[in-house]
Structure 1
Amino acid sequence: MEDFNNVNSIIKLIAKSKLKNGDTVLDATVGNGNDILYLMKIVGENGFGYGFDIQEVAVKKTRRLLAENAYENNSEIICDGHENLKLYINKKIDFAVFNLGYLPKADHSIITRSDTTIEAIKSIMDILSKTSVIALASYVGHEGGMEEFLAVKSFVQTLDQKKYNVSIFNFLNQKNSPPKLIIIEKRK
């Protein structure tokens, strides 16, 4: 069982409670591929996974990781910005995850930006299945991180409460600017 000790463990708990075999998932910022691999293990060989990253190194690493775990035939990892996801996705999304910030152990000057992240969220809204979830882990400790979080927060606060539940998880007693987690759940 996962603990509530970081945003990734909370995302995993939510994913396990929401997803089932055969569902479709989206990792809008694949990074090292760990999140999409976790989601693919839940949705299984009957499910499908989309992944996006603007860095070729992240795309190659994720493709390799999925191939090593026999998910290369039911996933598509795309080297493009998540704001362009509607150009590639032709299925309803049951669960989407974003890790906002930079790719660990890579060029920290390449970061997600609020304008493209908000555009991606807007695009996903049109292709969400019933009771689907978007999980946004916002890393705020780097330059531009807090600004992106505040812009995304400002946008998601405007979502129609009859259509979406929006929550924020924030670790209040952790040091060093812990990431903040925004959860958007589509209502029935």
Structure 2
Amino acid sequence: MDTPFLAPPAVFIRKLLNACLKTGDSVLDGTAGNGHDTLFLAQCVGAGGRVFAFDIQQSALDNTAARLKSAGCAGQVSLIRAGHERLADYVDTSLAAAVFNFGYLPGGDKQVTTQADTSVAALAAACKLLRPGGLLTATLYPGHEAGEREANAVETWASTLSQQDVQVLRYQFINQRNRPPYLLVFEKCRSAPATGNPL
């Protein structure tokens, strides 16, 4: 079967990141989960780059560590067991990109899910660390109750951001069943200051 030109969010994210990342960049995975995005980011930035990956569940970090080790990409990744809303306590460098895949850990406890208030705080902190031209992606899951609250809160916050500082794109299929996940993409404007911006 032919691959659709309009890719699902996960595929679209990787196209964007492949286009904007280069060897040696510093990047963030705000929701390590089972390590798929962390590994992809580590491969994009290479051994000379840095990846900061956050999760509150030790099982998620263990799964991520195993995936990175198997691929030979563990050296450039810092695995941090902390809420992503605290990322500024651990990351003090300019970021080329940040990735957030909200919701719950696939294969884990579905009652342990990201929350609206901490997710908005994490996105705001990550936006401040983005370099001009940097990208942030946020995959949202409105198909369950907590995910719907989170998606609404994130969109409400994103809509307040100044277009002089950041552009925000919603990538969403509107005729699919069961309220599938969708994507917000934030691009830090190249004219925005590297630090101290009002995001």
Question: Do they fold alike, i.e. is TM over 0.5?
Answer: yes
State the Cα distance separating 1:120 from its structure 2 match.
0.8
Tell me which amino acid in the other structure corresponds to 1:125: C
TM-score normalised by the chain length of structure 1: 0.95
1:168 aligns with 2:170: yes
Equivalent residues in 2 for 1:120-139 (5 A)? 120-139=122-141
Counterpart Cα distance in 2 of 1:98 and 1:60: 18
State the Cα distance separating 1:39 from its structure 2 match.
1.4
Counterpart Cα distance in 2 of 1:59 and 1:36: 10
Number of matched residues? 188
RMSD: 1.4
Equivalent residues in 2 for 1:64-83 (5 A)? 64-83=66-85
Tell me which amino acid in the other structure corresponds to 1:26: L
Among 2, 5, 8, the alignment partner of 2:7 is: 5
Tell whether the 8 Å contact from 1:2 to 1:9 is kept in structure 2 after alignment.
no
Q: Check 1:113–1:168 CA distance in 2 against 1; reply closer, same or farther (3 A cut).
A: same
TM-score normalised by the chain length of structure 2: 0.90
Gaps of 5+ in 1: none
Tell whether the 8 Å contact from 1:25 to 1:48 is kept in structure 2 after alignment.
yes
Aligned residue number for residue 16 of structure 2: 14
Q: Check 1:130–1:141 CA distance in 2 against 1; reply closer, same or farther (3 A cut).
A: same
User: Helix, strand or coil for the counterpart of 2:78?
Assistant: strand
Tell me which amino acid in the other structure corresponds to 1:56: Q
After superposition, give the CA deviation of every residue in 1:48-82 in whole Å (9 maximum; x if it has no partner).
Answer: 10100111100111112112222222110111110
Aligned structure 1 segments of 4 or more residues deviating by more than 6 angstroms: none
Among 100, 103, 120, the alignment partner of 1:101 is: 103
Gaps of 5+ in 2: 191-199
State the Cα distance separating 1:90 from its structure 2 match.
2.4
Aligned residue number for residue 61 of structure 1: 63
User: Helix, strand or coil for the counterpart of 1:73?
Assistant: coil
Counterpart Cα distance in 2 of 1:2 and 1:63: 33
